[in-house]
């Protein structure tokens, strides 16, 4: 142990007659290197910007006039940038309205191609999204038996010297309903929407490819997108009216 009996001289300020001296044994604590400020970047749901402003506005972290908001309606997103000219103190908060994975899986209006058997099995496993249980069961049955019906009709047409292509097309048109209804949320966190979906068949010899189309789905999507974004912007203007808002 080091000798601690050595004299220690303490210089006190004028008028001060007492002082406390603490002597620690061992090496001094390591002085940590200064760190750069951490730039905050957050991506999440569409309400992120409103949530951040409600909790941070007035806390002295930023001035409204040093912030901006960029609105991208095509990608259904709102991005807040604070301290826009000071990168070290800057924050970026982005909120997006994301598609519901179940809606995406149907491949509506995307050109996704299904074989009848694949679509039939998919419908069977996603019965919860059909507006009517019986419609779902009828669709599954028609799709799962589709190939058998086609082969039977072609064999019969050969015996009768008929036209295979015409008979095949007739099976496609008569075996599947023109449209059916789904009750499914388009975006995450949003209520379910009732959509009319059409089946469109591409015929090539004995092969058929099915795609799902819904003109109503596109209209509903655009209406929901604008309604949600406008609601968020209205709330932002109430909380922080001095923040500049740009649409791209």
Cα gap 106→195, rounded to integer Å: 12
Number of C-beta neighbours around residue 194 at 10 A: 11
What is the structure's pLDDT at 185? 92
pLDDT for residue 24: 72
Q: Is the pLDDT of residue 227 over 60?
A: yes
Are the C-beta atoms of 129 and 182 separated by less than 8 Å? yes
Residue range 57-81, pLDDT digits in tens:
888 888 999 999 999 998 889 999 9
Residue 171 has what pLDDT?
53
Q: How far apart are CA 97 and CA 162, in angstroms?
A: 53
pLDDT of residue 5: 62
Distance from C-alpha of 170 to C-alpha of 201, rounded to nearest angstrom:
11
Higher pLDDT, 219 or 181: 181
Element (H, E) at 92: strand 91-96
Q: Are 69 and 80 in contact (CB under 8 A)?
A: yes
Side-chain-facing half-sphere of 223: CA atoms under 13 Å: 7
83 has a pLDDT exceeding 80: yes
- Residue 21 pLDDT exceeds 80: no
Mean pLDDT of the chain: 83
Query: Which range among 26-40, 51-65, 174-188 has the greatest average pLDDT?
Result: 51-65
* Per-residue pLDDT, 58: 80
Q: Residue range 212-224: average pLDDT?
A: 88
- pLDDT greater than 60 at residue 243: yes
| pLDDT value of residue 148 | 44
CA distance 217 to 226: 14
- Choose the weakest-confidence range: 27-36, 100-109, 182-191, 233-242: 27-36
**Mean pLDDT (whole number) for 36-50:** 87
pLDDT attached to residue 240: 93
Per-residue pLDDT, 178: 80
User: The whole model's pTM is what?
Assistant: 0.65
pLDDT digits (tens, 9 = 90+) for 148-184: 455 545 555 545 555 555 555 555 555 677 889 999 9
8-state DSSP, 47: T
Question: Which of the residue ranges 57-66, 91-100, 237-246 would you say has the lowest mean pLDDT?
Answer: 57-66
Examine the pLDDT at 43 and tell me if it is beyond 60: yes
Q: What is the dihedral of CA 204, 155, 122, 76, to 10 degrees?
A: 20
CA–CA distance, 117 with 133 (Å, rounded to integer): 19
């Amino acid at each position: 142990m080091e000798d601690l009996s050595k004299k220690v001289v303490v210089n006190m300020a004028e008028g001060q007659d007492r002082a406390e001296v603490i002597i620690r044994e061992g090496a001094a604590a390591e002085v940590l290197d200064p760190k750069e400020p951490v730039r905050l970047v957050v991506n999440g749901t569409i309400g992120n910007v409103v949530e951040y402003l409600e909790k941070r506005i007035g806390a002295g972290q930023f001035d409204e006039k040093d912030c901006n908001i960029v609105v991208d309606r095509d990608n259904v997103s709102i991005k807040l940038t604070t301290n826009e000219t000071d990168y070290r103190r800057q924050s970026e908060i982005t909120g997006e309205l994301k598609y519901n994975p179940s809606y995406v899986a149907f491949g509506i209006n995307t050109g996704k191609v299904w074989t009848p058997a694949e679509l039939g099995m998919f419908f069977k496993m996603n019965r919860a999204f059909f507006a009517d249980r019986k419609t779902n069961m009828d669709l599954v049955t028609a799709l799962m038996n589709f190939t058998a019906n086609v082969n039977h009709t072609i064999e019969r047409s050969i015996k009768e010297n008929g036209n295979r292509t015409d008979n095949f097309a007739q099976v496609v048109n008569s075996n599947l309903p023109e449209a059916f209804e789904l009750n499914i949320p388009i975006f995450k966190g949003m209520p379910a929407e009732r959509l009319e979906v059409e089946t469109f068949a591409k015929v090539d010899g004995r092969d058929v490819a099915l795609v799902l189309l819904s003109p109503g789905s596109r209209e509903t999507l655009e209406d929901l997108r604008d309604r949600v974004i406008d609601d968020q912007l209205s709330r932002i203007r109430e909380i922080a009216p001095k923040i500049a808002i740009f649409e791209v």
